[in-house]
């Protein structure tokens, strides 16, 4: 199959590009909503989502024809090809089977991170896509933000010389961590380690900045706080039954009740995302009976709640990466130390210090966003939009190599993640083989 959807046309002319979504939850909905708001004509024409509330919201928002609405992604994959592109935003362990099925059907694929839960499955995904001759990319949206593009321009221009080291922090945030990684779908290492589920984005992003292979990895981390050993005296198994709930920073009752009736709240994880789009009665039932009402010290979670990863790259550059639950939810923080200067970034502002002049200039990467740029309110700081625009442009032009988050690049990043987990579990330094071996 040609890499171009419309080989007979040039530029952006031709019929609207069509999109199907396998997994119509929070991320699938966000990607679909981004797609239909692009200047490029895009239509969302099919969805597979098992949860009735999420499926109904998706169908209503995007006016999906009834015959193209499925409960199971397998039924969507088994149907005649319904769209040009499929967004796969299923649970992590479902990715490999879904990619293989949709690639065989001829869909071009946008795959939510992580690629898969094992290195072997990641390789299977790359092999399946290449064998089918379709275009695919992982949704490493950090690569596509105006912030990242401005940072890459600075590095490519030699503004701070050659990178010597990077210090990078992902502040997950206490509420987000309790929701997703203590009570939620990503609480179990046997499903996805924290580094894979949350921070394969960051490893990929850091590797794209250095732009050289990683040679050695070390990592340390543990489940320090969210376990039975730290359960306060008098705490109940559920927050709604707990006599000390009002004094607990991780109270599910307070967090999820606050989300009811607040669809426009900017505090996403403490609002509708956490409440799941439910009514107050449904939230109360979930608090009393579901996993999201459990005490954070009485769950079945085992993923680490803090971790550091140390990487050494070909040529000697080093990177130190920290992810932690114990912080306010905020933008990532990065300091890049070069041979001629230093860059300090917070997801919006870039401070560039030059050794020769000893002057600092500040770049606001959201300046001018209202005049055709990615608005600050766009998903992931404009990354969702940038991802779709890049992918569609590559398909229209028949240039899949122009997609920044190509599968083989993502595979290299995932291999570093798996190596870091081996290093953490074995308290060792793991050497990575060069690509292709």
| pLDDT classification of 282: cutoffs 50, 70, 90 | confident
Write the pLDDT tens digit of every residue in 321-351: 999 999 998 899 999 999 999 999 999 999 9
Q: Which CATH architecture has domain 143-226+302-431?
A: 2-Layer Sandwich (3.30)
Could you please report the per-residue DSSP string of 83-151? Answer: -SEEEE---GGGHHHHHHHHHHHT-EEEEPSSS-SSHHHHHHHHHHHHHHT--EEE--GGGGSHHHHHH
User: The pTM is what?
Assistant: 0.89
Name the CATH topology of 17-134.
Answer: Rossmann fold (3.40.50)
Write the pLDDT tens digit of every residue in 237-266: 999 999 999 999 999 998 888 764 444 333
User: 398-437: b or e for each residue (b if 16 or more CB lie within 10 Å)?
Assistant: bebeebbbbbebbbbbbbbbbbbbebbeeeeebebeeeee
The pLDDT of residue 373: 45
- Give the C-alpha separation, 49 to 25, whole Å: 7
Q: Are 149 and 129 in contact (CB under 8 A)?
A: no
Rounded to 5°, angle at Cα 197 from 259 and 151? 90
Nearest to 218 by CA among 198, 197, 201, 195: 195
Query: What is the β-pairing status of strands 430-431 and 214-222?
Result: antiparallel
What are the residue boundaries of the structural domains of the chain, listed by start? 17-134, 143-226+302-431, 228-293
Give me the sign of the Cα torsion angle 327, 330, 332, 337: negative
Cβ-Cβ contacts under 8 Å for 422 (sequence gap 6 or more): 428, 430
Write the pLDDT tens digit of every residue in 193-231: 999 999 999 999 999 999 999 999 999 999 999 999 999
Mean pLDDT of 295-321: 97
Mean pLDDT of 380-392: 85
- Give the C-alpha separation, 306 to 326, whole Å: 8
Cβ-Cβ contacts under 8 Å for 84 (sequence gap 6 or more): 5, 17, 18, 19, 107, 108, 395
Environment class of residue 31 by beta-carbon count within 10 Å: exposed (0-12), middle (13-18) or buried (19+)? buried
Residue 62: how many other CB atoms lie within 10 Å: 20
| pLDDT classification of 110: cutoffs 50, 70, 90 | very high
Write the pLDDT tens digit of every residue in 13-65: 468 899 999 999 889 999 999 999 988 889 999 999 999 988 999 999 999 99
User: 348-383: b or e for each residue (b if 16 or more CB lie within 10 Å)?
Assistant: bebebbbeeeeeeeebebbeebeeeebeeebbbbbb
| pLDDT classification of 379: cutoffs 50, 70, 90 | low
Query: Rg of the chain over CA atoms, in angstroms?
Result: 22
The beta strand positions in 13-81, using DSSP E, are 17-22, 42-48, 69-70
The pLDDT of residue 3: 43
State the DSSP H helix or E strand holding residue 349, giving kind and residue range, or none if neither. Answer: strand 349-354
Nearest to 59 by CA among 73, 41, 45: 45
Write the pLDDT tens digit of every residue in 133-175: 999 999 999 999 999 999 999 999 999 999 999 999 999 999 9
The two domains 17-134 and 143-226+302-431 share their CATH topology (first three levels equal): no
Mean pLDDT value across the chain: 89
Answer with the residue of higher pLDDT: 359 or 14.
359
Highest mean pLDDT among 226-240, 355-369, 422-436: 226-240
Q: With pLDDT > 90 as the criterion, what percentage of the chain qualifies?
A: 75
| pLDDT classification of 369: cutoffs 50, 70, 90 | low
- Give the C-alpha separation, 201 to 193, whole Å: 13
Side-chain half-sphere exposure of 153, counting CA atoms within 13 A: 10
């Amino acid at each position: 199959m040609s890499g171009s959807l419309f080989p007979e046309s040039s530029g952006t002319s031709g019929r609207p590009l069509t999109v199907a979504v396998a997994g119509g939850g929070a991320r699938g909905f966000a990607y679909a909503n981004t797609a239909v708001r692009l200047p490029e004509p895009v239509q969302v024409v099919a969805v597979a989502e098992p949860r009735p509330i999420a499926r109904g919201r998706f169908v209503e928002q995007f006016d999906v024809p009834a015959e193209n609405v499925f409960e199971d992604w397998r039924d969507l994959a088994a149907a005649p090809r319904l769209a040009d592109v499929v967004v796969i935003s299923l649970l992590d362990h479902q990715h490999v089977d879904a990619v293989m099925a949709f690639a065989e059907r001829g869909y071009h694929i946008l795959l939510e991170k992580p690629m898969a839960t094992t290195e072997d499955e990641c390789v299977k995904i790359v092999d399946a896509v290449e064998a089918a001759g379709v275009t695919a990319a992982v949704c490493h949206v950090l690569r596509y933000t105006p912030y990242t593009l401005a940072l890459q321009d600075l590095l490519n221009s030699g503004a701070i010389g050659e990178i010597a080291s990077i210090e990078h922090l992902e502040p997950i945030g206490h509420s987000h961590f309790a929701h997703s990684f203590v009570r939620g779908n990503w609480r179990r290492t046997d499903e996805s380690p924290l580094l894979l589920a949350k921070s394969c984005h960051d490893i990929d992003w850091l590797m794209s900045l250095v732009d050289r292979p990683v040679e050695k990895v070390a990592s340390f981390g543990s489940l320090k706080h969210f376990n039975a050993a730290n359960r306060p005296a008098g705490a109940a198994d559920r927050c709604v039954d707990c006599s000390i709930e009002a004094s607990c920073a991780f109270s599910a009752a307070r967090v999820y009740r606050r989300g009811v009736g607040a669809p426009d709240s900017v505090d996403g994880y403490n609002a509708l995302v956490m409440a799941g789009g439910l009514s107050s009665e449904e939230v109360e039932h979930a608090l009393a009976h579901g996993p999201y009402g459990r005490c954070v010290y009485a769950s079945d979670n085992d993923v680490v709640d803090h971790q550091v990863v140390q990487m050494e790259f070909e040529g000697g550059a080093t990177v130190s990466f920290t992810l932690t639950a114990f912080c306010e939810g905020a933008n990532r923080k990065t300091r890049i130390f070069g041979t001629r200067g230093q860059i300090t970034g917070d997801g919006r502002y870039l401070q560039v210090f030059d050794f020769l002049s000893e002057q600092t200039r500040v770049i606001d990467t959201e300046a001018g966003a209202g005049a055709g740029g990615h608005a600050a309110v766009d998903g992931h700081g404009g990354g969702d939009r940038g991802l779709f625009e890049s992918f569609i442009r590559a398909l229209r032009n028949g240039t899949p190599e122009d997609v920044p988050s190509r599968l083989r690049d993502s595979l290299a990043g995932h291999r570093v993640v798996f190596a870091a987990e081996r290093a953490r579990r074995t308290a060792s330094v793991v050497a990575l083989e060069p690509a292709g071996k």
